[in-house]
Structure 1
């Protein structure tokens, strides 16, 4: 039962994690679920990129999942939490290409086969970094089931999904306008484009009318695309241009004649109300061209270089300057205005993306979106907090076909082979020997790979062995919970739902808990450039994994971003110290032999009170975790351990432990050890390491590890009437302390306390707890009286009047004057705050937290003023 004198997590965190893995506590038994011996609870870890290192968002995500998984495991569930990593196509290829660049090479220099060998080598060397970092946090994943989105089993699932969707007509290949990154040299989905506000210009260009004098002025943010214009568009209701609709203009520089058309898309308020239509280089223009049957003229290559004379070979931005210069020389540039607009950038390399017309593979998403929409509407799949449903619906109702091909080498290569003889596209799970159309052996596989999100969309069922009907799939799919960030509701959550329903006919998960963003203490987004990033691994080294976990859990309130600082983490380290110290006291003071002779029934009122508080806390934690109110669960355990157990119950038991009878000592020891054991269980999901360290030192363990110990019972020990009377005793002790503080009587001074009550059961509790009251209130005596004694100040509690004898301890006249002055000062402060809070200007302009702070201060001052006024009145009677 010996414990180190101070809390030092470095001594036991790694030790216990190794022990848990050796014992296999995190490995789920499929047979137990299939045989109905235990209910299942399954979760899939959002697979971090193999290129990733642990950041505070990962720490939050995995901690919240772990809290639920450990809680469910202790409640008798067979918990299957499947971890894994994502191959992260573009990100990983970029990392390895940078390594090649150090040798003066490109991937094209070494060839596809050699390049992929290097990527796999890099993955083997560095790909498990983030997994090992997650283990440092204590995540109780089923590591024996760890998956990778490009392991052989998962690759087969990807091929099966692609081929099935292709045969169903839901995957097709076509030439369409897509987002293109000239740096990464690949297509990007809409979701992989980050739009940032940038200061640019609006160039006003004159397009001369054909066959008559004059011109129409067009405003554009991208004059370099002018080379591919096929029309000028105006709004049909715009009176300024109605007479020009159907006429033609001469395209500057190119000298091509193009029509003036009318389309509702044009905003008459933007620029001049006339816009250029460049369908091969703008998404909106592409849609206009489709409606009007206009051609698409491509004027850039896939490196973002112009392909049209006289600017051929120029970079697009270099060409912009040259074109603007030529327009000025030809007097076709009317003016230039500053203009702020959103510019799309590649999410990976931050290069400005280019709308690019190219042949790609697409998934028809509208047919796949309907079932997930219905599932969320009906509550079959729930978003927590509920407001994220709106974000989900916004995207699903406006869904566009998904471009799934990527022009990189690292990833799932598209299972399509082109016949060089007849042109037929052969789509199959395995490489065909002959063309299914003409029998030719002259086949070549598509060079592209699939979008990373295509494979991760299969994650909830792919990890369990789909497309095979495995026992794991039967036992653990559908999963029960997904914990994720709001930023990938589109990228991942919706796509898992589309694929899950389509391929299994079942929801991929029941609940989607969307956690908040972790910001710095000022509410700013963390970034390396700002220097406000908190490294979770540094915090683990400094304060322990348990402290970081508790901090994140305590701050994880639904619908509110987390404001985190090292100061806050350090603050919760004090809680870890408190847990350690109270356990150390109990293990040192309690009689371990007390647990041997059977449970005592000779409980003191304070014993029944703490057991009731324990049961109520278990209920509160359960309710909080069932509703994913993580902060409320943390608050409940914190309150119980720090306030009820450490500050009160431990103090209540000291007299019995050190001066009581053998029976009293035995009962107090039994209850202390029992409450400590159950408190550690309540805390375990949030702080697994310290709770295991303490649990293993207990003489009354009820399992070989706290990981698999039974969760505290919620109803076994409820004595509400006794508990309420002990609460009154606590208020009595606080009241005596307050009287001393108000009258400047030193806290250690012994005072006589008298109680008057018509509640015989309350009197009985007070008499039984007299030693504790005397010790904690520093009272020389606690007597029950039938009349109010003289020379006392009093206060009233439910069912009891309390009198504290002070007449001989203070100079009444001096105290009356002191309190009067204090009340005058407080009255001025109250008036000042009331004036400020009635000022509409202050309420409108002051920060919300400042207003709230002032209101709280006013409330506290008003209450204190009221109490001091009562004390003054009593003192005046004494005088």
Structure 2
């Protein structure tokens, strides 16, 4: 600060500060006019005033009573309309201990080293998976690691699926329609989240579906049918698996693209876009033809898989090792019988038959009888 006035030379202690000061947030409340082209693009501004151009304000919860309130009030007084159609409120970014970041505390976390270490998509995964609308969000290196692993998982899934031809004209059989029914639910949830400016639910929904359902269960279930090395499956069954694998991957990439833009674009350009970007595509919509009661049975299939894998591990068996046992499943799950038999290398799968009294129940209504 000056010791004296640079103009008149009066000493500092003789100077009196200006008392007629506006709150700076009040001044910034007309930023909407600038952003809507008030003085620069009158035709665009006219669309805004008439409500034909949508307006969104993304901001933190800490300035609701200042910037947001002043903006809403002032624009309404000036233009006679709400300042925004929607306001997206985010919480405050905290360190791993849940404390606010301040330079004076020395706990400010800069993104560059973590982007360098884990990748931009992993960092974006964390920002989506950690932040509910309106809630504070903690920095988490563990979530960054999870994001990096998810990106790698997605890449490996794409490598596997790319080994099979695209069969868009193939008939989709009931055992494959089940996973598409689950995909339909995912599409609805993700679209609903995006419409509400939310990324938390979409990224967590997609993570669970892609990793825990598609990769861990469906791909494992149809792997034998997709390769069909022994010729035990018909051409129709194999082609159905091929088409379903590509359908699920393709839709998953489209849904993930707004949140993981780099890996999805790289995969899309190679497999589906003929070099064009995934970001030129529209979000997928639910397909009414995929809605099927078999979707709920696929959840039972996952429980069967987990039950048999647990049984094998408890006996120090490799998961790929044959199991001399018979699986009894409800009649309505018959479409999954052959895939289950080949995945677990069972002696037999018997839909609709009554199991022996000493069979092990590994899922509701599903029994394993070891010979």
TM-score class, shorter-chain normalisation, is 0.7 to 0.9
How many angstroms apart in 2 are the aligned matches of 1:618 and 1:651? 22
The 3 A distance-change label for structure 1 pair 710 and 108 is same
Map 1:68-467 onto structure 2 (within 5 A).
Answer: 303=12, 305=13, 358=18, 360=20, 403-404=21-22, 453=25, 455-467=27-39
Distance 1:702 1:679, change over 3 A: farther
Contact map agreement 1:740 1:746 (CA 8 A) in 2: yes
Provide the C-alpha distance between the structure 1 equivalents of 2:287 and 2:38, rounded to a whole number of angstroms.
42
Match status 1:777 vs 2:344: yes
- CA–CA distance in structure 2, aligned partners of residues 558 and 510 of structure 1: 17
The answer (yes or no) to whether the contact 1:526–1:533 under 8 Å persists in 2 is yes
Q: Retained in 2: the 8 A contact 1:611–1:717?
A: no
TM superposition score normalised by structure 2? 0.85
State the partner residue of 1:654: 223
Q: For 1:607 and 1:107, how far apart are their aligned partners in 2?
A: 81
Indicate which of 325, 347, 364 corresponds to 1:753: 325
Aligned length: 361
The structure with the larger Rg is: 1
Cα distance in 1 for partners of 2:96, 2:140 equals 5
TM-score (norm 1): 0.38
Contact 1:756/1:786 (CA < 8 Å) preserved in 2? yes
| Partner residue, 1:612 | 181
In structure 2, the residue matched to 1:578 is 153
CA distance in 2 between counterparts of 1:517 and 1:359 reads: 32
Output one character per residue of 1:783-819: Cα deviation in whole Å (capped at 9) or x when no partner: 45744348x5410644x3412306xxxxxxxxxxxxx
Q: Is the 8 A contact 2:88 2:133 kept in 1?
A: no
**Contact 1:736–1:777 (CA<8 Å) still a contact in 2?**
yes
1:482 pairs with 44, 57, 69, which one? 57
Q: Helix, strand or coil: the match of 1:572? A: helix
Q: 1:822-833 counterparts in 2 under 5 A?
A: none
- Describe the shift of the 1:540–1:302 C-alpha distance in structure 2 as closer, same or farther (beyond 3 A): farther
- Per-residue CA deviation, residues 564-585 of structure 1 (Å, 9 max, x unaligned), is 1333312221111111111121
Q: Which residue of 2 aligns with 1:805?
A: 370
Q: CA 1:743 to 1:302, structure 2 compared with 1: closer, same or farther past 3 Å? A: farther
More strand as a share of residues: 1
RMSD over aligned Cα atoms: 3.2
Aligned partner of 1:591 in structure 2 is 165
Q: Which runs of 5+ in 2 are unaligned?
A: none
| Structure 2 Cα separation of the partners of residues 533 and 520 of structure 1 | 7
- C-alpha spacing 1:534/1:774, structure 2 compared with 1 (3 Å): farther
Pick aligned residue for 2:303 from 725, 728, 731:
731
Contact 1:615 1:717 in 2 (8 A): no
1:331-357 Cα distance to aligned partner (Å, 9 max, x none)? xxxxxxxxxxxxxxxxxxxxxxxxx76
Which region of structure 1 is more displaced relative to structure 2, 563-572 or 772-781? Answer: 772-781
> Are 2:119 and 1:553 aligned?
no
Residue number in structure 2 paired with 1:682: 255
Please give the per-residue CA displacement for 1:679-702, whole angstroms capped at 9, x wherever unaligned: 111101111121111111124x49
1:711 pairs with 271, 283, 288, which one?
283
SS at match of 1:569: helix
| Residues 1:674 and 1:108: Cα distance change in structure 2 (over 3 Å) | farther
**Would you say the 8 A contact 1:656–1:668 is kept in 2?**
yes
Query: Structure 2 vs 1, CA of residues 703 and 483 (structure 1 numbering), >3 Å: closer, same or farther?
Result: farther
Residue-by-residue CA offset, 1:533-575 (whole Å, 9 max, x unaligned): 2212222222222111111111112443212133331222111
Deviation at 1:605, TM superposition (A): 3.0
User: Is 1:635 equivalent to 2:200 in the alignment?
Assistant: no
Is 1:509 matched with 2:84? yes
Whole-angstrom distance in 1 between the partners of 2:11 and 2:290 = 72
The runs of 5 or more residues in structure 1 that have no matched partner are 1-96, 110-300, 308-312, 314-355, 361-402, 405-450, 807-879
1:748, CA displacement in angstroms?
4.3
Q: How does 1:661-672 map to 2 (within 5 A)?
A: 661-672=234-245
